[in-house]
Structure formats: C-alpha cells, structure tokens
Structure 1
Amino acid sequence: MSQHFVKLYHAQSNCLVRVQLGWDRPLQGFYMVVEKDSVEGLDDCDEGIVYSNLDDVGHPSDLAHFKEIASKLSVQIPDVMWRAAYLDSQHNAVNKHVFYSLDGDVVAPF
C-alpha cells in the first residue's frame, strides 16, 4: 500500500486534519482517509474520522471519486499528491510513505 499524507486546516470542522491517500496493491484500488488531528489551541478538535473510503463500496480504480469527496469536504489536496497516487497505481507500488506540505513539497514525517 502506498501512503501519501498532507496536514491542513479544515474550516468545516475548525480543525487540522490529516489526509491519507494512496494505492492499495492487494485490493487494486485507491483509498482515502481524512481524520481530525487534535492540537493545542483548537479545543473542539477531538480525534475522529471526517471521511473514510471504508464507508464506501469497494476501492475505486481511478481517483475521480476521491477528488469529488475532497471537493465536497473543501479539502485542498496538492496536485502532486494526486499524481503520486496515480503513478503508484501504474507501478503497483507498495510500502511507500510520503509526507507533503500544502505547497506540494515533500517534508519530514509528521
């Protein structure tokens, strides 16, 4: 499974969220999880899932479904992260962990 992460502010929940997007090699489909990330100063941010593909049926073989979900949630995922997940599907990647800034730069794990 490839794992691409970005952390960003989510206005709808007034919290930081961590988005995980990637390719699931055994299931041959994409996945996405958006989860709250509790931090000091944002008291309303109890940890919890904002969105998980596990609530959906199956694993989509393209990213259009997750782009639509991200848009509905007002979650701005860097373009480079979408491209990386797509390339992972083309190369059937596994055991890959990459962390991104909002600008799409690769950063240290968080």
Structure 2
Amino acid sequence: MTEFSSILSTSGVRGAYRSSQELSVAPSTAEPEAAKPSFAEMLRDSAGGTVDKIRTAEGVAQQGLAGQVGTQQVVEATLALESTVKVMVSMRDKVVEAYQEVLRMPI
C-alpha cells in the first residue's frame, strides 16, 4: 500500500496552506443577530400563518358552496390547505420528538 506522505509533496502542501491563508472571507449578507427572530417567534409566526391559511381555505370552500367562486379555486385552496396541514403536523411531530429527547437526557 502506498504511503500517504509519498503521494503529496511537502512543498505542494505548504503552497496550498499559504494560498489558503491569503483567501479572504466575503462580508456576510446575513441579517445581523439583533434582527434574527428567535425559535419561539418562528414557531409562533408559522402557526399564525397556518391558521390564516386554514381560514382562507374554509372561506373559499364556503364561497364555492354558495356559487361565488369556481371549482378550480376551491380545489386549489383545498390542496394548499392539505399541504399546509401536512407541514404543520410534521413540525409538531419534530417538536414533540425533540421534547421527548430532552426529557430522556440524564441530568
């Protein structure tokens, strides 16, 4: 089996190291720390958005029953509602799973 040190030359490694030190990091375009929402705020906003989508879909369904909107709009609203509920159920399962994992941790 070939020795790893025989594959790479020492001068090549040093050159690569020098080149890597010359690289500069671009300024971050991410939001400053103060502007980032907390995890609780993200969950709250997500839950609020879900409730809004559910209410919108129910309103479209009621308008569809009254004949005010077409069948296509009712189907689209129902599909959007279904995908939103699936995402929220998945998020709920992950939060419950994380909570249970924390409870299992030894103190």
Q: TM-score range by the shorter chain?
A: under 0.3
Greater Rg, structure 1 or structure 2?
Answer: 2
> Going by fraction, where is helix more abundant, 1 or 2?
2
> Going by fraction, where is strand more abundant, 1 or 2?
1
TM-score by length of 2: 0.26
